[in-house]
Amino acid sequence: MKLDELYITARLAKLDLGEKEAEKLSVEVSRMLEYFAVMEKVDVAGLDATVQTLDRGNITRSDVVSSLDVTGRILANAPETEDRFIIIPKVL
Partner 1 sequence: MKIKENLDSYLKYVSNWEEKIGSFLEFDISRTKGMSTVEGQLAGIPFGVKDNFAVEGFNITCGSKILEGVSAPYTATSVAKLQAAGAVVVGKTNLDAFGMGSSTDNSAFKITNNPWDTNRVAGGSSGGSAAAVAAGIVPFALGSDTGGSVRQPASFCGVYGLKPTYGVVSRYGLTAYASSLDVVGVVARTVEMTKTVFDTMKGQDIKDNTSVSHPGSRNNGDVKKIAVLKIEDGSLSDDVAKSYLESRKLLEKLGYDIVEIELPSLEYVVPVYYTIATAEASANLARYNGLRYGYRSKNGNDPGEIMQTSRDEGFGDEVKLRILLGTYVLRSGFQDQFYHKAQKIRTAIRNEFDKIFELADLIMMPVFPTAAFKHGSKDLDPFQQKVADRYTCAANLTGLPALAIPSSIENGLPVGVQFTAPAFEEDRLFNIAKVLEKDFPSPLAPGTKNWSII
Binding site for partner 1 (CB under 8 A): 1, 5-6, 9-10, 12-18, 21, 24-25, 28-29, 31-33, 35-36, 38-40, 42, 44, 47-54, 56, 59, 61, 68, 70, 73-74, 76-80, 86, 88-91
Contact 22, 6 (CB under 8 A): yes
Give the residue ranges of DSSP H helices in 1-92. 3-12, 19-36, 71-75
Q: CA 34 to CA 50: how far, in whole Å?
A: 23
Which amino acid would we find at residue 47?
L
CB of 10 to partner 1, least distance (A): 6
CB of 46 to partner 1, least distance (A): 9
CB of 27 to partner 1, least distance (A): 10
